[in-house]
Structure 1
Amino acid sequence: MSGDTSNARLWANADFWVADSLTTANPADANTAFGPGWSMVGLLDGDDGFPESRDEDTSDHFAWGGDLVRTSRTHFKATKKVSILEDNPTTRALIWPGSTQTAIVVPKPVPIKCAWETRDPEAGIVYRKITAGHAIITPDGDIDQNETDLQKVQLAAVIYPDTSTSPATLYIQQTSLAVASLAIAPATKALTAGQIGALTATATLTDSTTRDVTLHPSTAWSTSAAAKATVRYGYVTAVAAGAATITATYMGVSGTCAVTVS
């Protein structure tokens, strides 16, 4: 199998946040909680996820003789969806904007801020998309109530970009705990044939914190010369006299140890 398994994501947890005021402050980074003005929608349907679609009109332009010369693109539109399972004041305001506890009125959607957050607990990563401009939210499909299924309402958010930037910005992205560097200790190791030695892999994250990832399931260990030395879970087995470079890779960042076997 080729590729880096540490870059594969399983978003086991997620939340959807909304803010009525477009001036509501964004969290400083992905490690900072949402502050005043933001409301969490509540339980979501994880099977439906956060599907996102992009639509635009394209026109192909051909030269005399039939060769394609250029394609023009206009009327770009981004839509992001979420399926909510809770009936609470926040969700009711999204489904029936302008209504009260005693009267449901003809809905008139208003611009709001939205934030989609997904989390991969195993990799320790939080990923957020926050509207740079605003969104208009409307129900996507029927709203059904029955005795056998949880009530679920899928909402579609049309994303209006921040046009003060060039190009116009759709989302502010925030990602936590990216790996800045990976150190293998010791950096060099001498072994005799048949001997086993232990290495430690320590990741330094972008927030300057460190974590021992030697036995982390996302850490991949490899050797440049299996005939000289092999490695498994940070344990190096000396095979025959010579040299080998032991490499550990975690979340796309690698560190090495030079092993000499006598």
Structure 2
Amino acid sequence: MDLRTFARLTRIEHAFMIALAAVIGEIVAANSIPAAGFLAVSCLVPFFICLASFALNDLLDVESDRINKRADRPLVSGEASRPEALASAVLGFLAGNLIAYFISPIAFLIAFAFSLLAILYDAKLKDLPLAGNLYIAATMAIPFIYGAMIVANGVLSSDVLVLSAMAFVIGLGREFMGTARDVKGDREARKASTLPMMIGVSNTLVLASLLYLLAIVISYIPYFSPTSVYAEKLAYALPITLANALFAFAAYKSLTEGERFLRRARNISLLALGIGLLGFLAGAVL
């Protein structure tokens, strides 16, 4: 397995964003930039656990991905083997938890808990209505909380809570769209019972779009809050507004074009997440 295949297997772009979210949580909680060495080491914890989670997910989802014709997945295309995916998952979980152990007890507790939940999700939670979706949404919120708690002795500021809430809502919306896209494979290969199977794809897309709109509203709370580190900062507002425009576009097109647009919607929302994270970072340091 070459590096490009490894990056696709583990969705490394997600791992980088999760690591950046942890860094942002640390900066916002400390109201300053912590030592570069500490930032670098601490962000490796969510980075490695994220890599491991995606590798394990693809390993357990290979039959479903084949039915959904996901030729972009390395295990489906044959570019990666099952033993390679398993090794990536095991080493990722071990590396993330080992580093967390040497950072602090609270870092290890968070890392260990989410490693266990990741394994439970890949094995069972993803097949249950809402449970798996809520877990994935939580994994998008927890890096901000993790970063804040390891520098602020477990204290969470209002800014960190708002960022976490925003990430959770967006993550839940993306998850609803993802399950709407994968209904066929989830039903045939895993005998899953996901939300779209219970309420229909169209209704699921409506819920996802409403969650995107809720996240857009939440995103402006820090800008208009006088006590926020982001108060009246264009370095925050401009990237966030661009990200919000992309989320709104993805929601609109998903509602009007339905399942045909869902793979594009995933990529657009991923781009929006990246831009939003840059806004979180720029607003915190400028």
TM-score, normalised to structure 2, is 0.19
More helix by share: 2
* Greater gyration radius: 1
Q: Which has the higher contact order (CA 8 A, sep 6+)?
A: 2
Which structure: greater strand fraction?
A: 1
Q: What is the TM-score of this pair, normalised by structure 1?
A: 0.20
